[in-house]
Amino acid sequence: MHSSSPQVSATPLQRSARPVEDFHPASARWIRRVLYGVAGMFAALVVLILWFVIARPVQVLPRISQAPAFMLTDQDGRWVSDADLRGSILLINFAHTRCGERCAAMERSLLTVVDSLRADGRLGTQVRLATITVDADGDTPDVLRAYAARLNVAAPEWIFLTGSARELKQLIGGEYGVYYRVNGETVDLVDQRVVLVDETGLLRAEYDGARLDPAIILRDIGLVEQEANSSDAARPIYEAAHIFVCYPR
Amino acid sequence: MNRKYLGYLFEVAWILPSVAVPIAFLVAIVITAFAVGIAVPGEAGRIDPKALNTTAPFDQPGLRELAPGRYEAVVIAQLFNFSPGEIEIPAGSKVTFIVTSRDVIHGYKIEKSPINMMVIPGQISRMTTTFDTPGEYYIYCHEYCGAGHHLMVGKLIVKPAQTASTNR
């Protein structure tokens, strides 16, 4: 650009001394202030997100998937579908009445959960339990009713469901992925599984039935209740907790 | 201070964030890794790699028929093989692969299928797909895992639906 006017070979000093019409020190200061403001807001946002993710002030349970649909018979011989059980949090386990000592730990833990929920008055209304049997031939509604009586639980709070062997295999094996073998009289429940379904029919948690901790189940039921009962204003915060996978540790 | 300085300020307005963003990410990763401990969210995806022999379902690795046409393959990847190394299913089966590693990071890739997973000790990788075409498919470890990495190969046999046996 100097080639066109070789006679003006200005030094940097001379150039800076040239008058500049549109220079306003105030606007430069203003731009600098905006820059600092943006940088500060950015840093504050990063700190806020880090705090939200690390301290987890809001915890949620993952929305694993839609819980599988079913239509089975309960211990009183009534048809019960998954849709009939919407509206309350559902704790489902897969077992059979002749399981005996192998399933005793799972049974004990569930009874502990039941006792605690019953003491709070939440059982049967907010939270219900369902046992789906893997033994279609052995566990008829009559057998299940006797079993429920032995555990001292009744229909609205804890239901026991049975169906045909094929239905049960498709539901428990195919949909829930719980492995069991039925060989005539012998039933081998290889996987002991307990699942938590929320009031809208979404699968929220899966537990190993053999190593069930009643405290963790009660905590998770509490988290699902808390989220379900949250106000509209708190919804975005719960959604943020889902996005940032703020699951309980 | 002149017009060029204003231009400089605008350049700074773009350059500084482009430096600050990676630094913020790095700080976030370092904090979550050392102060919090990065882990797969939820307990379902975690496992103690030293206790595989006593942790279900890895205490019994193999193919399990959950329901007709629905299978689950529980696989342990280790130096330098897969257990089970050979999986046999009838065509049309939907199979969920549940894979974890006993030692180092491995890979689990079945040719001509969408199954392509990283297998990390301490974590459980899951993936489900349906195999419709009969044939033999190689299963590769595609994450370099050591001297015998190139020998770490398994096989998936998809049998024609009628003659298939539902063993194990």
* CB-defined contacts A:B, below 8 A: 77
- Based on the domain organization, do A107 and A36 belong to the same domain? no
- Based on the domain organization, do A126 and A189 belong to the same domain? yes
Domain count, chain A: 2
C-beta neighbour count of B167 within 10 angstroms: 8
A156 in any annotated domain: yes
A177 in any annotated domain: yes
pLDDT, residue A12, reads: 52
- Based on the domain organization, do A163 and A237 belong to the same domain? yes
Say if the Cβ atoms of A53 and B32 lie within 8 Å: yes
Q: pLDDT category, B164, cuts 50, 70, 90? A: very low
Put simply, whether B13 touches A (Cβ < 8 Å) is yes
Q: pLDDT category, A15, cuts 50, 70, 90? A: low
Interface test with B, best of A30, A31, A188 (most B CBs within 10 A): A31
Average confidence (pLDDT) over A118-126: 87
Q: Which residue has the higher pLDDT, A9 or A146?
A: A146
pLDDT in tens, A143-165: 999 999 998 888 788 999 999 99
A7 in any annotated domain: no
Q: Which of these, A161, A180, A184, lies nearest to A172 by C-alpha position?
A: A180
- Based on the domain organization, do A45 and A135 belong to the same domain? no
Q: pLDDT category, A20, cuts 50, 70, 90? A: low
B153: which residues sit within 8 A by CB, 6+ positions away?
B138, B139, B140, B141
- Based on the domain organization, do A117 and A45 belong to the same domain? no
pLDDT in tens, B118-143: 999 988 999 999 999 999 999 999 99
Say if the Cβ atoms of A177 and B17 lie within 8 Å: no
Q: Which of these, A185, A184, A208, A198, lies nearest to A94 by C-alpha position?
A: A208
Q: pLDDT category, B52, cuts 50, 70, 90? A: confident
DSSP structural state of residue A171: I
Residue B52 has which token pair? 């595989």
Sign of CA pseudo-dihedral A189, A193, A194, A200: negative
Residue A91 in this model has a pLDDT that exceeds 50: yes
- Based on the domain organization, do A163 and A79 belong to the same domain? yes
Sign of CA pseudo-dihedral A66, A69, A73, A78: positive
Helix (H) or strand (E) holding B27: helix B3-30
pLDDT in tens, A25-80: 677 788 888 888 988 998 899 889 888 888 889 999 999 999 999 999 999 999 99
Q: Which residue has the higher pLDDT, B102 or B31?
A: B102
Regarding pTM above 0.90, the answer is no
pLDDT in tens, A158-214: 999 999 999 999 999 999 999 998 887 888 888 899 999 999 999 999 998 888 899
Buried b (16+ CB within 10 A) or exposed e, A108-136: ebbbbbbebbeeeebbbebbbbbbbbbbb
pLDDT, residue A43, reads: 86
Residue A2 in this model has a pLDDT that exceeds 50: no
Residue A196 in contact with residue A89, Cβ under 8 Å? yes
In chain B, pLDDT over 70 holds for what percent of residues? 90
Residue A19 in this model has a pLDDT that exceeds 80: no
Q: Is B69 left (phi over 0), alpha (psi -120 to 50) or beta?
A: left
Sign of CA pseudo-dihedral A57, A61, A63, A69: negative
Interface test with A, best of B2, B34, B65 (most A CBs within 10 A): B2
Average confidence (pLDDT) over A105-128: 90
- Based on the domain organization, do A157 and A44 belong to the same domain? no
Boundary-marking domain end, from A35, A55, A75: A55
- Based on the domain organization, do A131 and A36 belong to the same domain? no
Residue numbers of the domain that contains A201: 65-243
A14 in any annotated domain: no
A234 in any annotated domain: yes
Residue B36 has which token pair? 């919090």
Domain of A169, CATH number, reads 3.40.30.10
Q: Which of A80-94, B17-31, B78-92, B132-146 has the lowest mean pLDDT?
A: B17-31
Place of tokens 């280790």: B78
Kindly provide the ipTM of the predicted complex, given to two decimals.
0.71
Q: Measure the CA–CA gap between B63 and B165, rounded to whole angstroms.
A: 12
Q: How many helical (H) and strand (E) elements, i.e. helices and strands, does chain A have?
A: 7, 10
pLDDT, residue A5, reads: 47
